A and B are shown apart, each in its own frame.
Chain A
Amino acid sequence: MATAEMRLLTPPLADRDILGLRAGDQVRFSGVLLTARDAAHKRLVAGLDAGQSLPIDLYGQVLYYVGPTPPRPGMVIGAAGPTTGGRMDAYASKLMALGLKGMIGKGGRSRAVREAMQQHGCVYFGAVGGAGALLSKYIRSAEVVAYADLGTEAVRRLVVEDFPGIVINDVYGNDLYEDGRRTYAR
């Protein structure tokens, strides 16, 4: 479960940043998060498979699975909570092979993806699903950097400050969802 200690992460990340993380650790991100969800993942991996260079460098980066609402005038972004990570399972291993160090979403990942996380050194973080209004408050800037035609599904570069998350899957094979269920099932 969540430990009392809060871990501060400043992406882009290096291996040493994630080796100390364990499932259940609470974290705060301050720095850059790149966004991508279903359509952007599909296009990124289609590009990779075709041998093209990607419009973004994923080395050391953290991908946030989010499709925000449009910002009101004067706002940086609209509501911006996580979407279900499992839908990105079909693509995630190929992106980890490029040096992706973290993924932020909600919901469980496949066994194959969890194994790839251990192999490549990548951590899956949970953000509170459905807390889109609250989570938007930690985002300082948002800029579309690829696939603008995808609208909400475009790739954005977010700069965040103290963005809250929790470690779901660490690089040692632990899973907060399994641990939590085991602890509280009656």
Chain B
Amino acid sequence: MRTIEAQQITDTVARLCMEANYHLGVDMLAAFDHALKTERSPAGREVLSMLKENARIARTERLPYCQDTGFVICFADVGQDLHINGGLLEDAINAGVRGGYTQGYLRASIVEGPFRRKNTGDNTPAVVHTQLVPGDRLCLRLMAKGGGCENRSQFKMCTPAEGLEGAKAFVLDCIQNAGPDACPPLIAGVGIGGTFEKAALLSKRALFRDIGTPNPDAELATLEHDLLNEANTLGIGPQGYGGDTTAFAIHINTYPCHIASLPVAVTIECHAHRHRQAIL
């Protein structure tokens, strides 16, 4: 049995919150560069150039890339042989969010209840998803999820008869409906299978794969590739000003289904795709 201190989790989460908000991933920067070569729309290319410059300023001045510094979503994969000393895992993560958002001059965007909309003042609580895994390590995958794009995420309970074509049509529908509102170029995390909540979780987890890395499953890799090509014929383009770069990536995770069901969840993510991970 290995032991780590809750404080170590708190310190790590605080660091990840700040890094995610100041440093856009190299995969995203590469996606900007690639799109600048293929985008036909002058307005679209100008947007992409501004986003590159935005990322540079954010990185060099430790200024948030986007003013919506997000809802913190934390996937904590806890090794079965790990013991956390000195507090609850979720409390440690929330303390890290509190510290990171306060010390890092990040925006407090969470209200304490859906109707009594009083800001909690420190961006807590996070949404924490914990699962037990083999080993004695703790893997923290953290995302700062913007509200504008999350508002365009959708779920549909397709029927088995609708099948692959039905699922594809729904994913493209979601991107079409997200349109300019969700800050394209977008990334779509897609969860297919399981149940209502399982599909949604799969769709969130799918966003943690690096952009440009193919799905390890060859069949899904082809599906992702085809869907991305179709999404980029919609004409929405960067910021919706018209263009060829509507989406940077579509990432799919699947799970076994009930004989009656074909659940499809689509998490819409904006170009401010801020995520970080650490293993303790």
Interface residues of B in 157-209 (CB under 8 A from A): 179-183
Q: Is the CB–CB distance between A108 and B180 below 8 Å?
A: yes
Interface check B141, CB cutoff 8 A: no
Contacts of B240 in A (CB 8 A): 106-108, 126, 176-177, 180-181
B205 to chain A: closest CB distance in Å?
23
Q: Does A174 contact B (CB under 8 A)?
A: no
Contact A130 B42 (CB under 8 A): no
Cβ of A83 to closest chain B Cβ, rounded Å? 6
- Distance in angstroms from A3 CB to nearest chain B CB is 10
Task: Confirm or deny: B82 has a beta carbon within 8 angstroms of a beta carbon on chain A.
Answer: no
Chain A neighbourhood of B66, CB < 8 A? 79, 81, 129-133
Q: Chain B residues with Cβ under 8 A from A79's Cβ?
A: 58, 63-67, 69, 107
B250 on interface, CB distance cutoff 8 Å: no
Which of B1-9, B131-139, B229-237, B257-265 forms contacts with chain A?
B229-237
List residues of chain B with CB within 8 A of the CB of A111: none
From residue 1 to 45 of chain A, which have CB atoms closer than 8 A to chain B? Answer: 1-2, 24, 39
Task: Give Cα A179 to B180, complex, Å.
Answer: 12
Closest to B230 in A: A186
Q: In the assembled complex, how far is the CB of residue B263 from the closest CB belonging to chain A, in whole angstroms?
A: 27
Which residues from chain A contact B54 at a C-beta distance below 8 Å? Answer: 128, 130-134
Task: Please name the residue on chain A nearest to B184 by beta carbon.
Answer: A129
**Binary contact readout A151-186 vs B (1 if CB under 8 angstroms, 0 otherwise):** 111000000000010100000000011011111111
Contact of A126 among B51, B64, B241 (CB under 8 A): B241
A-B contact count (CB 8 A): 176
Residues of B within 8 A of A182 (CB): 235, 242
Asked whether any CB of chain A lies closer than 8 Å to the CB of B53, the reply is yes
Interface residue from B61, B107, B234, B241 paired with A176 (Cβ < 8 Å): B241
Residue of B nearest to A129 (CB): B183
| Closest chain B CB from A105 CB (angstroms) | 10
Q: Given that A128-B47, A180-B240 are contacting pairs, would A133 and B41 also be in contact in the complex, using a CB cutoff of 8 Å?
A: no
Distance in Å: Cβ of A68 to nearest Cβ of chain B: 5
- What residues on A are CB-neighbors of B64 within 8 Å? 69, 78-79, 132-133
- Assess whether B270 is interfacial by the CB under 8 Å rule: yes
Q: A1-B41, A128-B51 are in contact. Are A183 and B242 (CB under 8 A)?
A: yes
> Does B148 lie within 8 Å of A184, measured CB to CB?
no
Name the contact of B107 in the complex, choosing from A69, A84, A106, A180 (C-beta under 8 A).
A69
**Residues B242 and A69 in contact, CB atoms below 8 Å apart:** no
Enumerate chain A residues within 8 angstroms of B179, measured Cβ to Cβ.
107-108, 177, 181
* In the complex, chain B residues whose CB is within 8 Å of the CB of A122: none
Kindly state whether residue A47 has any CB partner on chain B within 8 Å: no
A84 touches B51 (CB 8 A): no
Q: Given A129-B239, A180-B235, A78 and B51 touching (CB < 8 A)?
A: no
User: Assuming the A-B contacts A69-B107, A151-B108, are A106 and B181 also in contact, with contact meaning beta carbons closer than 8 angstroms in the complex?
Assistant: yes
| B51 with A151: CB separation less than 8 A | no
Q: Which residues of A contact B (CB under 8 A)?
A: 1-2, 24, 39, 66-72, 78-81, 83-84, 86, 106-108, 126, 128-134, 136-137, 150-153, 164, 166, 176-177, 179-186
Closest 10 CB pairs of A and B: A180-B242, A185-B235, A107-B181, A184-B235, A132-B67, A134-B54, A2-B43, A79-B67, A129-B183, A79-B64
Residue contacts A-B, CB under 8 angstroms, 5 given: A1-B242, A128-B54, A133-B54, A181-B236, A184-B236
